[in-house]
Chains A and B, each alone.
Chain A
Amino acid sequence: MTKRPYDDVPGTTVFDERMSRKGYHLNQFCMSLMKPENRERFKADNRAYLDDWKMTEDQKQAVIDRDYNRMLSLGGNIYFLAKIFASDGLSFQYAASTMTGVSEEEYLKMMLAGGRSPDGNRYKHEWEKE
């Protein structure tokens, strides 16, 4: 598939058609959680609720595990996935911390100190050197 000018940005999934076509049903499932009655059914039994959707087994398991990086790699878009952690009563800050592999406290500390610097984080090759 054609290479894109943003393919060399590390730690980042750009939601283009390559992701969107994979993630259509996963993302549409997320949208359904904007209705309170659906949130209730989902919370009562994740698996049973997910089985109503044409998602892959990997996608369902990633949702059950709340593995957001995995969901991103399987076509999830963060604004759609936000419906899952919102239903869990959790914030964007919490979700972001889980994706970066640090505790929420550590993540909060990094943000209070001015956030993650772009230096050393612009190109994949900068990450591979480490």
Chain B
Amino acid sequence: MARITAGVATSHVPAVGRAIDTGQTRNDYWKPMFDGFEFSKKWEESEKPDVVFLVYNDHATAFSLDFIPTFAIGVAEDYAVADEGFGPRPVPHVEGHADLAWHIAASVIQQDFDLTLVNNMAVDHGLTVPLSLMFGQPEAWPCKVIPFAVNVVQYPVPSGRRCYNLGKAIRKAIDSFDEDLNVQIWGTGGMSHQLQGPRAGLINQPWDQAFLSDIVDNPERLIAIPPEDYIREAGSEGIELVMWLIMRGALDDQVTELHRHYHVPASNTAIGHIILKNGK
């Protein structure tokens, strides 16, 4: 049977991708941020996941304002790397796991979550930057990826509680897949940041630190946070953190924290990263 062995959360800032692609990761500005992912890369080398179920948001890349799915699952065999306005990132293309993706879609829809099914989409920095942070710069990504895109751009966005419960449904689906697979679930985006308007640059370190602690053993507090609190406390783009709750919902109630990293700044953003082993 397939099983979820671990959950990973990480920010997914475009400038981080650019630092990797242009070989800047060892300079004074970036080194402290990238040092926090050294453990993670080594850990992934020994974990060797078969599939990563990767929760991210599309940043007006695959989805324009023509149609805006709240939750979209990629069911394709592969995904192109998007050109976000400065050419595609020089990273390997992303291989999907269509069998598992279709199985999850069928199961989760039967559990009353209406997903949009996507056969063709390019994936942006929201998906490729976490892959780079966790796997470095290989010729090909070492695992298959199921992209799961959440709308956090156009309001209304899904609530934290909805995301958490959706994670539980995804867990059920993966547990019932009839093939021996080591699956990880990643939640990406955040932490506090605001990219727009006169309040741009907002960072709330105490709020982020509390979020990092509670994602481990008190997600019940986090799922009650309404969108306006994310905006006010963590900046308008801090709302991306609801995606971490999908990851957390898919894990056991009890998890083991393996690694944590927090760094300010990466461009406009507070970088947060945590690895949770499923179970105690």
Within 8 Å by CB of A36, from B64, B83, B233, B237, lies: B83
Q: In the complex the two chains form, what is the Cα distance from A16 to B152 in whole Å? A: 11
Q: In the complex the two chains form, what is the Cα distance from A2 to B239 in whole Å? A: 22
Q: In the complex the two chains form, what is the Cα distance from A85 to B189 in whole Å? A: 21
Provide the residues of chain B in CB contact with A87, threshold 8 Å: 85-86
Number of residues in B with C-beta < 8 Å to the partner? 46
A92:B201 contact, CB within 8 angstroms: no
Q: In the complex the two chains form, what is the Cα distance from A25 to B14 in whole Å? A: 25
Task: Tell me if B270 is interfacial: C-beta within 8 Å of chain A.
Answer: yes
B228:A9 contact, CB within 8 angstroms: yes
Which residues of B in the span 74-98 have a Cβ within 8 Å of any Cβ on A?
A: 82-87
B166-202 interface code vs A (CB 8 A; 1 in, 0 out): 0000000000000000000000000010111111111
Rounded to whole Å, the gap between the CB of A32 and the closest CB of chain B is: 9
Provide the residues of chain A in CB contact with B85, threshold 8 Å: 33-34, 39, 82-84, 86-87
A6:B195 contact, CB within 8 angstroms: no
B199:A116 contact, CB within 8 angstroms: yes
Task: Tell me if B69 is interfacial: C-beta within 8 Å of chain A.
Answer: no
A5-B228, A6-B228, A83-B84 known; A96-B200 Cβ under 8 A: yes
Question: Which single residue of chain A is at the shortest CB-CB distance from B265?
Answer: A111
Q: In the complex the two chains form, what is the Cα distance from A28 to B198 in whole Å? A: 24
Task: Tell me if A55 is interfacial: C-beta within 8 Å of chain B.
Answer: no
Number of residues in A with C-beta < 8 Å to the partner? 57
A69-B198, A116-B199 known; A12-B59 Cβ under 8 A: no
Task: Tell me if A121 is interfacial: C-beta within 8 Å of chain B.
Answer: yes
Task: Tell me if B143 is interfacial: C-beta within 8 Å of chain A.
Answer: no
Rounded to whole Å, the gap between the CB of A16 and the closest CB of chain B is: 4
A86:B86 contact, CB within 8 angstroms: yes
A45-85 interface code vs B (CB 8 A; 1 in, 0 out): 00000000000000000000000110010000111101110
Task: Tell me if B264 is interfacial: C-beta within 8 Å of chain A.
Answer: yes
The segment out of B37-45, B110-118, B133-141, B203-211 that lies at the interface is: B203-211
Q: In the complex the two chains form, what is the Cα distance from A120 to B87 in whole Å? A: 39
Provide the residues of chain B in CB contact with A122, threshold 8 Å: 232-233
Max count, chain B CB within 10 A of own CB: residue among A5, A10, A111: A111
B226:A5 contact, CB within 8 angstroms: yes
B201:A101 contact, CB within 8 angstroms: no
A118:B61 contact, CB within 8 angstroms: no
The segment out of B100-108, B153-161, B241-249, B272-280 that lies at the interface is: B153-161
Q: Which residues of B contact A (CB under 8 A)?
A: 14-15, 18, 59-61, 64-66, 82-87, 153-156, 192, 194-205, 207, 226-228, 231-233, 236-237, 264-265, 267-268, 270
A-B contact pairs, 26 of them (CB 8 A): A6-B227, A6-B231, A12-B194, A12-B197, A14-B236, A28-B64, A33-B85, A34-B61, A34-B82, A39-B85, A72-B196, A86-B84, A86-B86, A87-B86, A91-B267, A93-B268, A96-B196, A100-B200, A100-B201, A107-B201, A114-B264, A115-B270, A116-B194, A116-B200, A118-B204, A122-B232
Given A9-B231, A72-B196; 11 other pairs, CB 8 A cutoff:
A36-B87, A72-B197, A79-B59, A79-B60, A92-B15, A93-B15, A93-B267, A96-B268, A117-B203, A121-B199, A122-B233
